């Protein structure tokens, strides 16, 4: 029955999967950034302040600018998925309530 109301239950499942994967990628980015700050002996705030400075060495250092760009992209994906999921749930609610 839900398939008729919201098009496809798999689309809701896919949106939920997207949210989960995005959250996982954000945790990975946060982990890399915090480890980069800790590894260098800097505080997290100092590491963020230095993000616009010279490029890091090639010894596996984290490129904070690239990580922050990736974080911004993940936020865009997450926000879009949330909006789509909210729309689906509004449609279901409206259908259940009889279009009120």
Q: Residue 82 is inside which H or E element, if any?
A: helix 64-96
Average pLDDT over residues 29-55: 67
- List, for residues 46-69, the tens digit of each pLDDT value: 666 665 544 445 556 778 889 999
- The domain tally of the chain equals 1
Radius of gyration (C-alpha) of the chain in whole angstroms: 20
Give the whole-number percent of the chain exceeding pLDDT 70. 64
For residue 29, is pLDDT > 60?
A: yes
Helices and strands counted in the chain (H then E): 4, 0
Assigned token pair, 71: 């974080």
Give me the pLDDT at residue 53, please: 47
Range(s) of the domain holding residue 72: 2-96
- Cα(87)–Cα(82) distance, integer angstroms: 9
Task: Output the pTM of the full model.
Answer: 0.61
């Amino acid at each position: 029955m839900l398939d008729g109301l919201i098009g496809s239950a798999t689309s809701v499942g896919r949106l939920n999967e997207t949210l989960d994967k995005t959250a996982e990628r954000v945790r990975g980015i946060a982990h890399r950034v915090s480890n980069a700050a800790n590894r260098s002996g800097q505080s997290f705030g100092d590491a963020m302040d230095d993000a616009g400075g010279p490029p890091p060495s090639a010894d596996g250092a984290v490129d904070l600018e690239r990580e922050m760009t990736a974080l911004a992209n993940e936020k865009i994906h997450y926000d879009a998925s949330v909006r789509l999921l909210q729309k689906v749930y509004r449609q279901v609610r409206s259908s259940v309530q009889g279009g009120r």
